[in-house]
Amino acid sequence: MAIIFKVFVPPAGVSDVKGKARIIDGDSLYVGGREVRLQGIDAPEGRQTCRRDGREWACGKGARNELVKMIQGREVSCHGLDIDKHDRLLAVCRANGRELNREMVARGFAVAYGRHQREEAEARRARLGLWAGEFDRPRDWRRQRNIGR
């Protein structure tokens, strides 16, 4: 009986990147000259607003600011996993000893998108970030405005 080994070959263009980050929004950034999307999460878009205490608040800017705060200008390292339809690197990124993908969901500034359901449930129970009020899930907000993601 022959043993067959399957070797995972990442799609063309997938690589790891490291360097200072330029934050785009709560789940996208530039690192090492590449546009990177944090895999497994979905954060509000930059122009997205939510409701808290009966008032609108700029939750998209809030999510971006939370990511900036977590990185604190330090180096970011991203492990590339795939390329999305917009040619962005899908990756798991770390800075300051934290996994940024998981932490954004745990702090309530992104929703789980295929990963991190436990962190989302805990953030929801604690009413952190987006969960402190009312919001449209980012994919629904984009769909309502015919914005491709």
Q: Which CATH number belongs to the domain containing residue 24 in this structure?
A: 2.40.50.90
CA distance readout (Å), 39 to 1, 35, 63, 83: 39, 12, 16, 10
Look at residue 68 and give its three-state secondary structure: helix
Domain count for the chain, please give it.
1
Has residue 134 been placed in a domain? Answer: yes
Range of the domain at 41: 17-144
Backbone angles phi and psi of 17, in degrees to 5: -135, 155
Per-residue model confidence as pLDDT tens digits over 12-41? 778 999 999 999 999 999 999 999 999 999
Has residue 105 been placed in a domain? Answer: yes
Has residue 7 been placed in a domain? Answer: no
* Average pLDDT score over residue span 64-91: 96
Only one residue has tokens 């339809």, namely: 85
Q: What residues contact 120, with CB distance under 8 A and at least 6 apart?
A: 105, 111, 112
Say whether pLDDT at 1 is over 90: no
pLDDT at residue number 2: 66
> What's the mean per-residue pLDDT of the chain?
93
Count of CB atoms situated within 10 Å of the CB of 148? 7
Say whether pLDDT at 43 is over 90: yes
Has residue 9 been placed in a domain? Answer: no
Has residue 4 been placed in a domain? Answer: no
Has residue 10 been placed in a domain? Answer: no
Question: How far is the C-alpha of 142 from the C-alpha of 149, rounded, in Å?
Answer: 8
